[in-house]
Amino acid sequence: MTLMRIFVLGLIVWFAIEGTVSAEHELSKVGPIVIANYSEFPHAWKSRNDHPAIEDLYAVHHDENGPYLKAKIGQRPQRIFKKTVWDPFTHPILTWKWRLHAMPTDNEKTVAVYVSLGTDIIGIPKIVKYLWSNTHPEGTELNEGFFRPHEVVVQSKAIPTNEWITEYVDASEDYSRFFNMDPDEKPYGIGFLVSPGVEIDFSVVVALPRE
């Protein structure tokens, strides 16, 4: 059994513990695709304006379940992005876990997992951002205008939980609904954006079949 196969099997167990995998999101015979496991961090990840201190703000850690990315952001929000390819038609569901340690409440703060399943005619990524917000309730959808990302609030707990919370999103369906078109055959990539003062962990990100 290869190391990658062992890793994927372990990943399935991790996402299945304590009932975190519902019947709606059971893994099919097609199997999961790991699209971000941080083995190529930081060299495969691009920061906004090529921020030189990316490794001071984001760091890879390991526990009994495998690798995770820890973000501890200073006075300015910091985005990182990775180009990665998978088939959004066979694997439209994205799942990840995140664990909040600190989120200031003095003003609006967010954490975003953002996904680009395609680009516009001039090559600019079309983005859907899945937010952990301290101001908007879960289910809120936001859009600030043309050429701006669409946003969906999937968590709204402002008090740190220090526990992993699992998310499932139908990235392909959301992309089609927001942009009135199908995803590209090869997605552009995924990324994270964390507000100042926020401390949060991200698990590996996995693409799943719908059934």
Pick the most confident of 13-22, 99-108, 186-195: 186-195
- The mean pLDDT value of the chain amounts to 84
Domain count across the chain: 1
Which CATH number do you get for residue 154?
2.60.120.260
Residue 154 has pLDDT above 90, yes or no: yes
Q: Read off the pLDDT band of 3 (50, 70, 90).
A: very low
Burial of 69 (0-12, 13-18, 19+ CB in 10 A): buried
Q: What is the domain extent for residue 92?
A: 3-208
Task: Select from 186, 193, 211 the least CA-distant residue to 132.
Answer: 193
